[in-house]
Structure 1
């Protein structure tokens, strides 16, 4: 369609900028649609901001990631876009240096053009490969008749990662990602399944990838090109030779961009239905990961959700901390690019540079996960309310934090931070010391988090903290709480992009007619929700029903305002010998939220046994404090603490304290009767948790089989002779 007068990208983004943030009260509730309740299900809920329709674009015409970034690049060509810290000669890192939106757009065009050049002229291109038949530039196709080839990205967070994403969007290339914790077998599986011809990676991954093809020449026959994000020098000639020996061409990114500059191609604009990415979920079953197929429509809907819950401003500063291989961070970065943000990246792959980097970058917002926040909470507590070495400081901060928590918990303060002049100055100084002085709010998602952690951090840092919910299948978040939610227990209402309902789970005791509000398995539908798993119709059919509802497997409760709390996981329950059903995720969450000395917990039951056992991971920052307070003993070394809790007497005291903390919340059969104590027993390396910290229960039950057997042989530590707790 052609127009006599067209709105410029600057006009569109300026209009959005003047309209955000939305009044949080307008999007903070959801309601059931009339006459939508059916047997076995709750009514359908929609956000009260738009009950009559779902919204999937932030502004008319901005319906692909390509259009969103191009609008930002046209509106803010000279604004900083992607930045990194320059390494000094002494090995330290200096200030952040940024390239502008205009520069990144030009690099995008050069890189996209160069990718097609090196693939179409590749000497190892196979004439009999259907995957290699896709290595063509066809701007008339719009990625509808023919699928794109798959470009694979493999590195830690860095500007080049985002350039790959931006380029993929502009040239209708579908991409996917590998990450270290997948391991070589899963990486081989993904490269084979996608028939990916090209991997763009950091230099240290190159040799491993060539090794992988050398060991699997037939399965990885389609892999014919590697592009290093780092410059290749004459010293790297052995890598080029090794690559050619295994029918792979090797370039660095600047070479590809130069070839693209010499052989330019205009962006091959995608449609909303073009596939943007295939994100492989790490999975909790131990089987091969499933590839979630996500279109530009899904992605732009995700950006639209973030606009509806936006509490910042345009041209802000973001820090890209969470792994870009996971959809949570990718959604955040796509949103940041739309708003003209300056995005700073970490020094390298280590997460330990977080606080050092943000002190230099001074971001406005942070997207973090519960594990990072609980460590931050423990560190702040050690310096403030648990600082026995400085009683005066301890007393002052305890009063300030407790009073701030009390005021923030009032319903009338749900959409604003109550001003407490004297205490605010003290708490703001603490926030500045941590390096968060410019941060307006923190968002968290991907895993459950204790409400006590949210309340403490909101108060101690005098900051907003919003909890969201989303999945790979929903292009990350599709609901989010107010950043000053009074109770800090929910993920907020469903957003304007999606509708939800709950499915009864009578075998678990959850129904839509429960007294405390509808409870059941959470079902999602709308433009933000994926349509299929890659080359996996069987799993797609299991996940999406005939009416288009995606069954998440998460158990939710919806309150009177339409706010959603995730309370359990469907199918993760088992029956004990006495016939009682137990849901371990609910139990784990309660112990972790009520007993602050735990960092990890895995609850296990057996149908032949009458009680539960558990694998306990102590919090390394507070374990010594607990031992000193409870046992009047001073033990600092981790290995000594583990030995300390191998003694049945000491282990029993710890277990009694854990059970006391969950008091009347859990029934007797839901409490732990024996435990094994360690630090970080659940790791990605031993494959019992996913990179997003979800427990892979089928794997974990085998991994800890001997410990479970030993605990059941030892018996309950807390029953008296009559079998009572």
Structure 2
């Protein structure tokens, strides 16, 4: 068991005062990494740790706060009367969503106890209990001291207060949970429920019927599923709801709603079963990029607290902060955000829907201080802001003013690390724009899950007059293990390795990534420390592949360490994503895709394909609907009114060639891509990479084996058409 070292060692009575006065740690102290002396081995770089604590890894904010249970107990005591969870409800008369309605920390604290108690009651007194496996123990054991709970609870909904309460109830009673999500599909939901033998799913009402149908189809494999809990109310006088209850019962499932579970728990309260640091908090299933069954990442309370410690050290808290829980709680990134926000006593607003289309409507009402989003949302925001500012050609005076201000802001913020580029007049002007969007209180944007263009970061920081950080993390590390300064001089890094983790790079000679590379080592990123997971659930083979005997986790990501910039981390490629062309050149498609996407904003999706019998690359291009019309007007002097017209327009070889030339011109700067890494022919459409087609993961990584099969006919057509950029097309 790893030794835990806290940020501070004073008595628990002074915890809150200590944290308020000593965190966050100054960005300048955390922004660089150092090599551990004498740690370099053949085939590897040196081991790197954060320069703030080079001698040991820090894992908990205080000795008394070593589980997620204790973190919430601490915050619910200090912040009892303050707002915790906020929800918007529809106004019946208008059909629109109203203001946020808040529940206090004290209320959420009581509801977690009621709900957890109720879960045990409905399982222990279930009429279908005799149908479950003999080794599945549903009993309540207040003296349980095992790292694995006796049964696993499944959660299935978009983000909402009930999700958070159910999660807290599991923490309170040492129950392990897992999450299902729509993008995995019913087959994968069946796989997870069967593997975990989960007897209960807590879901939004719209999921209930399909869950019952899933059991009706796979009754033998899902015989342990005997309870469903609807997060939405069920009305027994409503015919549809009554039929749903009977439908569940006919398949040996008892169906309750959330309020019933809480009421049963309130009547039959149970003593808490506090977890230990070794207790398993969650099993987070990650879909991966191969198309195989997802792997269940086993995460203990120690990893969760380490992740919160990482946040505590890096994020400057705001008294009575408001935050927006938009990213899916089924993924570990938002779960880390939620645990940290609660620990800091923040007011957490949940979205009216999981769609990005309603995000700005919520934000205008909520006016959050922090926003954590993913690159695809930021690039859409960037395009929208550009149309109102530097590209607002319908209002040339505004366009000129914004262009001047934003250019100056970018210049000032690029002066040095930490430069905010403040200006008394410009800031007031930009505040009008911020207020219009609901961003008037935002102090920082955070980005994760995939790389984002440095140019996007620069533009958003300048235009919205606030900080923006790019981080890096994985499910296996309970989200973030490094994050860049929010006012980094040259955006693009993921910052230095966290105080909770250490790293090194493994050489990849086949891909020409070496520890001796000029400017700093390059290779596969390996992570080790208390924030790293311990195993894949019931999957010793994959565990052995991912974790070596010394505890190093092989991430599969290719990174470089910039020796000239504080040993900060840059993610540049994926280990398995390479192939050969006919002339023997090695191609790493993810690097190529990210380069095009960062330098040519007219496209928002790109999938690069090559063939070992061909000498050039082809691509599937997804146009950005926010910027393509302006591009077509500037490049071709054409105005097109629909996406269908635009797709037809780029079927013309001359138009398509011009687009390819512009794409390649954009990456010619600084020699970003070699000649054989550039595309020679493309298929042009809007959003070709869709979750429902099973070609990308929920975190938007391309499933290359699946994508290759899905787009095979298009690849064949592109190669038949041949290279558009060669004067003599050999059509190899």
Q: 2:494 aligns with which of 475, 491, 495?
A: 491
Partner of 1:571: 576
TM-score by length of 2: 0.96
The superposition leaves residues 578-616 of structure 1 with CA deviations (integer Å, 9 ceiling, x where unpaired) of: 000010011111111111101000001110000000000
1:465 to 464, 468, 478: 468
Give the corresponding residue for 1:215: 217
Per the TM alignment, residue 517 of structure 1 is displaced from its structure 2 partner at its CA by 0.8
Q: Distance between the aligned counterparts of 1:126 and 1:378, measured in 2?
A: 58
Distance 1:94 1:147, change over 3 A: closer
Match of 2:3 in 1: none
Match of 2:26 among 23, 26, 34: 23
Q: 1:425 — aligned with what? A: 428
CA contact (8 A) 2:722 2:730 kept: no
Q: 1:124 aligns with which of 128, 148, 152?
A: 128
Residue deviations 1:187-224 (CA, integer Å, cap 9, x gap): 11111111000000111111110010011100000000
State the shift of 1:239 in Å.
1.2
Which residue in 1 is equivalent to 2:336?
331
Match of 2:47 among 29, 44, 47: 44
Q: 1:179 aligns with which of 178, 181, 187?
A: 181
SS of aligned partner of 2:216:
helix
Alpha-carbon distance in 1 for matches of 2:63, 2:345: 19
* 1:96 corresponds to: 100
The 1:184/1:127 distance shift into structure 2, 3 A limit, reads closer
Contact 1:81/1:99 (<8 A) preserved: yes
CA distance in structure 2 between the partners assigned to 1:298 and 1:271 by the alignment = 12
Aligned partners of 1:115 and 1:260 also within 8 Å: yes
Aligned residue for 1:551, secondary structure, equals strand
- State the distance in 2 between where 1:451 and 1:52 align: 32
Matching of residue 721 in structure 1 with residue 723 in structure 2: no
Q: Which residue of 2 aligns with 1:107?
A: 111
Please name the residue that 1:296 is paired with: 301
Which residue does the alignment assign to 1:549? 552
1:279 matches 2:284: yes
Number of residue pairs matched? 715
Counterpart in the other structure of 1:67: 70
The 8 Å contact of residues 312 and 364 in structure 1, kept in 2 or not, is answered as no
Q: Report the Cα offset of residue 418 of structure 1.
A: 2.1
Residues 589 and 35 (structure 1 numbering): CA distance in 2 closer, same or farther, change over 3 Å?
same
Q: Distance in 1 between matches of 2:98 and 2:419?
A: 36
Contact kept in structure 1, 2:149 and 2:174, CA below 8 Å: no
Map of 2:684 onto structure 1: 677
Question: CA separation in 1, counterparts of 2:242 and 2:132?
Answer: 30
Give the secondary-structure state (helix, strand or coil) at the position aligned to 2:252.
coil
Whether contact under 8 Å (1:363, 1:438) holds in the other structure is yes
Contact 1:318 1:342 in 2 (8 A): yes
Matches within 5 A, 1:183-198: 183-198=185-200
Which residue of the partner structure matches residue 32 of structure 1? 35
Structure 1: distance between partners of 2:145 and 2:267: 24
Distance 1:174 1:368, change over 3 A: same
For the residues of structure 1 that align with 2:114 and 2:547, how far apart are their CA atoms? Answer: 40
Displacement, 1:7? 8.6
**Paired residues for 1:8-19 under 5 Å:** 11-19=14-22
Which whole-Å deviations, capped at 9, do the CAs of 1:638-671 have from their partners, x for residues lacking one? 0000000001111001001111111132111000
| Deviating more after overlay: 147-156 vs 614-623 | 147-156
1:355 aligns to 2:360 (yes or no): yes
- Which blocks of at least 5 consecutive residues in structure 1 are unaligned? 1-5
Q: Which residue of 1 aligns with 2:710?
A: 703
Q: What is the CA–CA distance in structure 2 between the aligned matches of 1:169 and 1:255, rounded to whole Å? A: 20
Structure 2 CA distance for aligned equivalents of residues 128 and 162 of structure 1? 28
C-alpha distance in structure 1 between counterparts of 2:577 and 2:250, whole Å: 48
Equivalence for 1:150: 152
CA contact (8 A) 1:131 1:222 kept: no
- CA deviations 1:246-301 (Å, max 9, x no partner) are 00011111111111111111110000000000000021111111100000001000
Indicate yes or no: 2:518 matched with 1:515.
yes
Preserved contact between residue 323 and residue 369 of structure 2 (Cα < 8 Å): yes
Give the Cα separation in 1 of the matches to 2:347 and 2:677.
48
User: What CA distance in whole angstroms lies between the structure 2 residues aligned with 1:723 and 1:518?
Assistant: 39
Deviation string 1:681-701 (CA, Å, 9 cap, x unpaired) is 001111111111111101000
Structure 1 residues 182-261: aligned runs within 5 Å? 182-234=184-236, 235=238, 236-261=241-266
CA distance in 1, matches of 2:624, 2:229: 41
Looking at structure 2, the residues matched to 130 and 482 of structure 1 have their Cα atoms a distance apart, in angstroms, of 53
Q: Tell me if 1:453 matches 2:453.
A: no
Q: Secondary structure at the match of 1:521?
A: strand
1:674 aligns to what SS in structure 2? strand
Partners of 2:728 and 2:121 lie apart in 1 by 78
Q: Is the 8 A contact 2:136 2:150 kept in 1?
A: no
Q: 426, 433, 436: which is aligned to 2:439?
A: 436
**Conserved? CA contact 2:155–2:177, under 8 Å:** yes
Taking a change above 3 Å as real, the CA distance of residues 416 and 14 of structure 1, as seen in their structure-2 partners, is farther
The answer (yes or no) to whether the contact 2:624–2:686 under 8 Å persists in 1 is yes
Structure 1 position 312 matched with structure 2 position 314:
no
Kindly state the Cα deviation for residue 516 of structure 1 after the two structures are TM-superposed.
2.1
Structure 2 residue aligned with 1:689: 696
**Aligned-partner Cα distance in 2 for 1:218–1:611:** 50
Consecutive unaligned residues of structure 2, counting only runs of 5 or more, are 1-8
Query: Which structure 2 residues correspond to residues 157-176 of structure 1 after superposition, within 5 A?
Result: 157-176=159-178
Distance 1:719 1:409 in 2: 40
Q: Is the 8 A contact 1:45 1:500 kept in 2?
A: yes
CA–CA distance in structure 1, aligned partners of residues 235 and 166 of structure 2 = 22
Q: 1:340 aligns with which of 341, 345, 349?
A: 345
Q: Which moved more, 1:340-349 or 1:310-319?
A: 310-319
Aligned partners of 1:160, 1:57: CA distance in 2, in Å? 28
How far apart are the structure 1 equivalents of 2:305 and 2:541? 27
- In structure 2, distance between residues paired with 1:178 and 1:440: 33
SS of residue matched to 1:167: helix
Rounded to whole Å, the distance in 2 between the matches of 1:721 and 1:327 is 51
Relative distance call for 1:317 and 1:109 in structure 2 (3 A) is same
After TM superposition, list the pairs within 5 Å mapping 1:260-271 onto structure 2: 260-271=265-276
Counterpart residue number, 1:538: 541
SS across alignment from 1:126: helix
The reply to whether residue 658 of structure 1 matches residue 660 of structure 2 is no
Deviation sequence 1:399-437 (CA, Å, 0-9, x none): 1111100111112xx124121222222222212222100
1:348 positional shift: 2.7
Return the alpha-carbon distance in structure 2 between the equivalents of residues 679 and 526 of structure 1: 42
1:59: Cα distance to partner?
1.2
- The structural deviation recorded for 1:9 is 6.3
* Contact 1:17–1:314, Cα closer than 8 Å, also in 2: no
C-alpha change, 1:722 and 1:223, in structure 2 (3 Å) is: closer
2:163 and 2:121 map into 1 onto residues whose CA distance is 20
- Measured in 2, the distance between the counterparts of 1:720 and 1:423 equals 51
Q: Counterpart of 2:6?
A: none
Shift of 1:391: 1.2
Report the counterpart of residue 379 of structure 2 in structure 1: 374
Quick one: distance in 1 between partners of 2:660 and 2:356?
A: 32
Would you say 1:593 and 2:598 are equivalent positions? yes
Distance 1:101 1:19 in 2: 24
Q: Provide TM-score, normalisation by structure 1.
A: 0.97
